[in-house]
Homo-oligomer: A and B are copies of this chain.
C-alpha cells in the first residue's frame, strides 16, 4: 500500500521516483495523484519526502486536487527553456529542472508511468547523456515497485473497491432480470414486440446502468455458445440470445475515467442447461469451493491453483499443467489481483511461486472450463478481499445460478 513506498524505494536504493507518461490513462499516475484527473505532467517523490506534482499550467487546478505541492512547468523555467533549446532538448532540460526543484541532485531515479514506449526509450537515452549525475532506470518487475505497493490495499482503497463491487452486483442483477422478463419464440429470446434480444441490447443496458452508477465498462464479455469457449472472446453484438446456450458473462468495470475495478463472471443458460454444460458447471463450482476451502492466510497463492488443477484433472479435463498450450479444458490460472488495473499481483498461476496471501489482498477466484468444439465455455468468478482478520471475504454476493428461468 501507499504507506510502503519509502520502504519499497529503499529496497531498490532509489533516490527518487518520477511518474511520467502521456494522455493514456495511467494507474500509477492515478495512484500517486490521489485520483486527480491530470492528463500529463510529472509526479516526483524523493526518498523520505512528500510527493510533488509538476504540470502544464492548464492542469494546475486539477493537480491541486491531489493534496500535494504542485507547480507548473512555467514555475520551473520551461518557458525559458523553449526559447533557448529546440523542443526535444527543452523536454530533456525540463526533467533536469524538475528533479533539481524536488531536491533530487544525484543517484538512482526510477522512471514509472504509462506512455508511448518508443518515446521513453529514446528520451531516457537523452536523459542519461545529458545528466550523468543520475542513474535513470526502469524496472520490468516481478514485482515492480508499484506492483508490490498494489499487492495490498489500504482502508481508503477498500472503501472505494466495496462501492464499485456493490454497484457492479446491482448491474449484474439487472441484466439477469432483464433477460428473465423476456420470452422465447422458436428458440430465440424476444421482447414483448417479438423482436430478437441481442447481445448488443444486453451490453447497452449494462453499460447504461453502470454509467448511472458512476462506473464504466472496460470491455465486458457476454459470449454465447462457441464464443464462450474462448476465454477472451467478447461476444458479437448483433447475435440474438438463444435458449439452452451457455453464456459467459464477465463484467469488470471501474470507476468512471479510470479507478478501481470489480471483477465478476457468471455463466447463464436461458430456459434450460444442456447436460454437458450442467456437468461442466458442476465441476467448475466444485473447483470454486475447493479453492475457498484451500485458502489460508500466509499460504502460497499457487496452492489454490494446484488444488483446482488436481480437481479438474481427476475429472479428466485437460489443464495448463497437463498439456502445453491447451485450447480445451481449464486453460488459464485460477485468479489474479485486482485494483486500478484489472490484472495485478498476486498471481495465482501454478508456475508463479512468489506470492502468499496477505491482509489487504484484493483478488479474484475464477475457475472455468472451455470446450469450443462442443460449443460452450463455463466460468464463475467472485472478487475477494482479505480482511484485517485474515478472512477471504467475497464482495460478489450475486447468485451463481446457471439457468435463467423466464418469468413469462
Q: Which residues of A contact B (CB under 8 A)?
A: 20-21, 23-26, 28, 37, 39, 56-62, 72, 74, 78-80, 82-83, 87-88, 110-126, 137-142, 144, 204, 207-208, 211-212, 216, 219, 227, 230-234, 257, 324-325, 327, 331-332, 341-343, 351-352
A59 contacts which of B59, B116, B212, B232 (Cβ < 8 Å)? Answer: B232
Given A24-B24, A58-B230, A88-B140: 6 more A-B contacts, CB < 8 Å: A21-B117, A74-B324, A79-B325, A114-B115, A119-B140, A119-B144
Residues on B with C-beta less than 8 A from A141 are 88, 118-119, 122
A128 to chain B, nearest CB (A): 11
Tell me the smallest distance from the CB of A211 to a CB of chain B, in Å. Answer: 5
A355 to B80, CA, bound (A): 24
Indicate the member of A80, A118, A212 with the most B CB atoms within 10 Å: A118
In the complex, what residues of B have CB within 8 A of residue A112's CB? 116-118
State how many angstroms separate the Cβ of A114 from the closest Cβ of chain B: 5
Selected from B117, B123, B142, B233, the residue in CB contact (under 8 A) with A88 is B142
Shortest CB-to-CB span from A320 to chain B, Å, is 9
Contact of A117 (CB < 8 Å), options: B78, B83, B138, B231: B138
The CA of A166 and the CA of B404, in the complex, are separated in Å by: 39
Q: What's the least CB distance linking A277 to chain B, in Å?
A: 20
A selection of 18 A-B contacts at a CB cut-off of 8 Å is A39-B219, A57-B325, A62-B234, A72-B325, A79-B325, A80-B324, A87-B352, A88-B142, A111-B121, A112-B117, A114-B114, A114-B116, A117-B117, A118-B139, A121-B124, A121-B140, A122-B138, A122-B140
